[in-house]
Structure 1
């Protein structure tokens, strides 16, 4: 099995926490209940009901399937290198009776799409797996309609998750303040005691694409496209602290909520003097 063939996940990452998702929504849209894709639709495509969307690196397509259900008049195409993941996505689309979405296995660098053009090219937690951004964004530019946009919801921090010293020291200090039973790992008696900078060799062997050139994403986007909006989402501390233990903060535990809110406040303070590791952005084609 290839590294990109995995089709399963467990809810132990910080983005699985509903409160975190609400905070993101509020930062992007102004409302905890409005998703970023609803916001993009209302702001940029209010007059266009038949939006076409391409999602490279779609994986098993659960985000794209949710968009297809939300906007039945849209035409959505998901693309991924993994035939296994695409098979899973197509089966789920069929099981859910969705006719407005298609998944195909392929390489975005080589796909022509038979002269089809898109209103939106979406990268949701996928762009940090790409490299060769000059080539990629040149290709994406040809796939966008004149008024089309790239939408990203992405990790743009240090390559291979090589956290800064101040990041690690701050995150470890905050981790130590969390009671032990909220630091238990998924289905385990083990407790998370310390955060380490991951070894680059281990990451590369596990997934050669993982955050391989993530620090180049924003500079490359700014080079090839016009920034319509760009919103810092944080993650500098939350990702490090909650990775592996996020499931402890998903329920309605009031103490867990207090801990989570304190972490969110600490991260906001941290972001005043540090660039954000996660960003939401909308970018249009350059005018020549």
Structure 2
């Protein structure tokens, strides 16, 4: 698959990127997200997509591949949970692959979770795998449809395509009406939740603004470059795919930066209501989904 991005620049960005506090750091948000994926309130990141795979196939898959595996945490969990017997993880950032290899050693699965600092598209072109796994990496592909088509091409017949991703507008450029909705929701959150946790007395903004395209590209040239093509591509290439829209306008945008402030029972009740509103507004079509999970079998 051809890439229009500077892979060296992308690799350099991800070598420096560190995790920040967001919805995936919050236990309740993770549990509710996983519920919308698999129907179970599972607390661990990516537990929902793993369970959805198990609901789709009842026996362990023999060999899998993950593109954009980062530090390999989720790929190792695929092995430990029995979803797949062997997985190859690929990433362009050498530092992340070094960490992934060590994590596999520490978990005792270095012979089953094998990591490579390389471009998987250059190496694999024929049916080889029983699982192609994407977890927050597909939306970094410059041509998402080509990446989904490649996934289909390297799957054996009966193999599983699985993804859990940002699937919203390219470069996070949501519509004006959606931004207005997001800010109406954010305005209902009590002032105390906007205080930054570093004891500096600073506060997060009460209003979400749309980041400029230039700023998004400067931060990460691969960020959501073709994300809007994700669901249409899956429906075309895997027409029988099970697709689970999981929302995100509220949990990803309206509540951005605020999760560490939800501590008390009262706080958690408010957070639960807001997360439920997100999902209901998504299912009703009031808001488009920004995230989604999908599983499909190659026929």
TM-score scaled by structure 2? Answer: 0.86
Match of 1:103 among 100, 103, 115: 115
Counterpart in 2 of 1:23? 32
Other structure's SS at 2:225 match:
coil
1:144-163 superposed matches below 5 A: 144-163=155-174
Shift of 1:119: 1.5
Change (3 A) 1:172 1:122: same
Q: How does 1:126-141 map to 2 (within 5 A)?
A: 126-141=137-152
| 2:129 match | 118
How big is the alpha-carbon RMSD for the aligned residues of Structure 1 and Structure 2? 2.2
**Runs (4+) of structure 1 moved beyond 4 Å?**
none
- How many positions carry a matched residue from both structures? 281
Partner of 2:16: 6
Pairing 1:42–2:54 present: yes
User: What do residues 253-279 of structure 1 show as CA deviations (whole Å, max 9, x unaligned)?
Assistant: 212212202212332342212321111
Distance 1:89 1:14, change over 3 A: same
Return 27-36 or 91-100, whichever deviates more: 27-36
Q: Which residue of 2 aligns with 1:277?
A: 290
For residue 235 of structure 2, what is the aligned residue in structure 1? 222
**Structure 2: segments with no counterpart, 5+ residues:** 1-10
Q: From the superposition, tell whether residues 109 and 42 of structure 1 become closer, same or farther in structure 2 (CA, over 3 Å).
A: closer
TM-score (norm 1): 0.89
- Tell me if the contact between 2:166 and 2:290 (Cα under 8 Å) persists in the aligned partners: yes
State how far apart, in whole Å, the 1-side matches of 2:226 and 2:133 are.
18
TM-aligned CA deviation for residue 235 of structure 1? 0.5
The equivalent of 1:238 in structure 2 is 251
Structure 2 CA distance for partners of 1:214 and 1:50, relative to 1, 3 Å: closer
Cα deviations across residues 162-202 of structure 1 (Å, max 9, x unaligned)? Answer: 12112211221222221222123353532122101111101
